[in-house]
């Protein structure tokens, strides 16, 4: 009888232990179910390069069905004096390209082209990076030294540099609270002026040739008239003698 009682007690304790473990596991799983790792934002319309998503909600979630289908914003990163993409998104409910944090150094801008002006002036055109920018630095470097540097506000996409000579290095930097963008091949270019001297010489040569031809024709005409008059005078004298 003692052995039977011991077996009965041990079985009863085992059953109680299994019940407790089942209850604890079910309670922990219910807690995980009520506190998901990812919370959809619902009102966020922007991509973000620094957003950390650790888990995805199920596709059948009602939250996704409530989100409207948004189109990319009509925003050109190479056009100046326009509203920022965030401002456009707030008014038109559209999607902006991902922007890096304003406390992280921005990505390099893309130098679009260099346009030569009269004299030694050069217009620098660029496109904004996918970063938050407070202003731009546009500078020209020659012989390892910065010759000229201009600070340009964030909505501008062009600046004029003076006294730029052939072979000088022109760069555009983006600046924010995190620092300055790094120089690379897309944000810098070597200035190579258009060879306008040869074109000017060619034009002057053509003009000079045309003028010379006209003068030659006029001279030939005058010479012909002069000889014609001489012949006419000689005939007149001969007729009088006869």
56-70 tens-digit pLDDT: 444 444 444 454 678
> By three-state DSSP, how is residue 155 classified?
coil
More confidently predicted of 214 and 50: 214
State the Cα–Cα distance between residues 170 and 191, nearest whole angstrom. Answer: 7
pTM of this prediction?
A: 0.55
Q: 145 has which bridge partners?
A: 142
State the Cα–Cα distance between residues 45 and 218, nearest whole angstrom. Answer: 79
Q: How far is CA 31 from CA 52, 54, 90, in A?
A: 22, 18, 36
Tens digits of residue pLDDT in 121-146: 899 999 999 999 999 999 999 988 99
Task: Give yes or no for a contact between 54 and 47, defined as CB atoms under 8 angstroms apart.
Answer: no
Task: Give yes or no for a contact between 120 and 108, defined as CB atoms under 8 angstroms apart.
Answer: no
Mean pLDDT (the chain, rounded): 76
- The CATH fold assigned to 110-190 is Immunoglobulin-like (2.60.40)
Helix, strand and coil content of the chain, in percent to the nearest 5, comes to 40, 25, 40
pLDDT tier at 231, thresholds 50, 70, 90: confident
């Amino acid at each position: 009888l003692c052995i039977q009682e011991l077996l009965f007690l041990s079985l009863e304790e085992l059953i109680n232990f299994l019940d407790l473990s089942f209850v604890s596991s079910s309670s922990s799983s219910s807690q995980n179910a009520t506190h998901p790792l990812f919370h959809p934002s619902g009102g966020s319309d922007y991509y973000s390069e620094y957003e950390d998503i650790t888990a995805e909600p199920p596709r059948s979630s009602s939250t996704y069905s409530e989100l409207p289908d948004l189109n990319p914003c009509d925003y050109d990163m190479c056009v100046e004096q326009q509203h920022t993409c965030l401002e456009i998104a707030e008014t038109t409910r559209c999607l902006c390209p991902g922007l890096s944090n304003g406390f992280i150094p921005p990505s390099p801008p893309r130098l679009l082209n260099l346009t030569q002006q009269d004299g030694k002036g050069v217009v620098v055109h660029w496109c904004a990076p996918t970063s938050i920018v407070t202003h731009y630095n546009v500078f020209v470097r020659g012989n390892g030294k910065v010759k000229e540097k201009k600070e340009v506000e964030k909505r501008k996409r062009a600046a004029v540099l003076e006294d730029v000579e052939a072979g000088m290095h022109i760069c555009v930097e983006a600046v924010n609270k995190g620092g300055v963008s790094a120089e690379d091949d897309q944000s810098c270019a070597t200035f190579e002026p258009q060879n306008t001297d040869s074109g000017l010489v060619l034009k002057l040569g053509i003009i000079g040739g045309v003028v010379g031809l006209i003068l030659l024709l006029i001279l030939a005409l005058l010479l012909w008239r002069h000889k014609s008059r001489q012949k006419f005078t000689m005939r007149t004298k001969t007729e009088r003698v006869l």
